[in-house]
Amino acid sequence: MHRFIVSPEALSRGVVTLGESDSHHAAVVLRLESGEVVTLLDGEGTVAEGLVQKVTKRAVDIEVQERRVLPRRAWEVVLVAAVTKGKAWDALLQKGTELDVAGIVPLLTRNCVVKVAREERARRRQDWQAAVAEAAKQCGTPWLPQVSDPVAIDEWLAGNPRFDVGMVAALAPGAGEMGDIMAQNAGARRVGVVIGPEGDFDAAELKALTVAGFHPVTLGTTVLRADTAALAAAAVIGHELRRRWRA
């Protein structure tokens, strides 16, 4: 069944009209016809079945048949990751959404190859949020991950990010195991995991994160690419939290 993401306000109505881009895709690419059933998501937990009423390239009208409001997750993983180049970052956004992360914070670290000017940050966030929305259509998550503006580590830490437990992937000797940190924080429901760039964090950045309470952890005996490390960490933590809270 085809899925579309619409605003909570739109989904509260009896008939939803898709935006021009989604309407064109529905009419031209998907070749939807009147009478077909589709799924509508608002990204905030509401899932609805809709009956296609009218199809044009600029406006597709869908009558809402049934709504379900799903409870918010009992747990959350927030992926805080240094921005990587091109397809690797696109894959991180897509796969992070599929892994059901609650949020993605793009970090601009000293060793990042990608640079984002301050005046470009809001636009980049909008582009990345749109990519997340496309991934959500494919995987059907009722909760849309929220992408933050790209930000430097010191700026992000100055905002006093709140987690029940925070971890940072580190290549430095003495890094702990994620499983051990999770076991030591059995009541944790909101977990943040920080992943550095291909060149890793510099010493000052890693120190700032550990002083802020993030536990250095290892992701295994091999050196992972940044995007691989981010998704591996999100998958392991998400699995543990789902198992722990059964939701």
Write down the pTM of the prediction.
Answer: 0.90
Give me the amino acid identity at 105: V
Checking if the pLDDT of 75 tops 80, the result is yes
**Site of tokens 């970090």:** 107
Checking if the pLDDT of 150 tops 90, the result is yes
pLDDT band at 174 (very low <50, low <70, confident <90, very high): confident
Checking if the pLDDT of 72 tops 90, the result is no
pLDDT of residue 102: 96
Rounded-to-integer distance, Cα 40 and Cα 109, Å: 37
Cβ atoms within 10 Å of 212's Cβ, excluding its own: 16
Mean of the pLDDT values across residues 64-89? 93
pLDDT band at 221 (very low <50, low <70, confident <90, very high): confident
pLDDT of residue 199: 83
pLDDT tens for each residue of 105-117: 999 998 888 888 8
Mean of the pLDDT values across residues 114-143? 93
Checking if the pLDDT of 157 tops 60, the result is yes
Report the percent of the chain where pLDDT is more than 70. 100
Checking if the pLDDT of 246 tops 90, the result is no
pLDDT of residue 86: 84
Q: Which ranges constitute the DSSP H helices of 67-214?
A: 86-98, 121-139, 153-158, 178-184, 203-211
pLDDT tens for each residue of 19-66: 999 999 999 999 999 999 999 999 999 999 999 999 999 999 999 998
Rounded-to-integer distance, Cα 141 and Cα 134, Å: 11
pLDDT of residue 6: 94
Give the per-residue SS3 of 175-187. Answer: CEEHHHHHHHCCC
Rounded-to-integer distance, Cα 140 and Cα 127, Å: 20
Which phi and psi angles does 185 have, rounded to 5°? -125, 60
Q: Which two tokens stand for residue 126?
A: 């909008």
Mean of the pLDDT values across residues 209-232? 93
Checking if the pLDDT of 209 tops 80, the result is yes
Mean of the pLDDT values across residues 199-209? 92
pLDDT band at 247 (very low <50, low <70, confident <90, very high): low
pLDDT of residue 60: 94
- Which domains occur in the chain, in start order? 3-69 (2.40.240.20), 76-245 (3.40.1280.10)
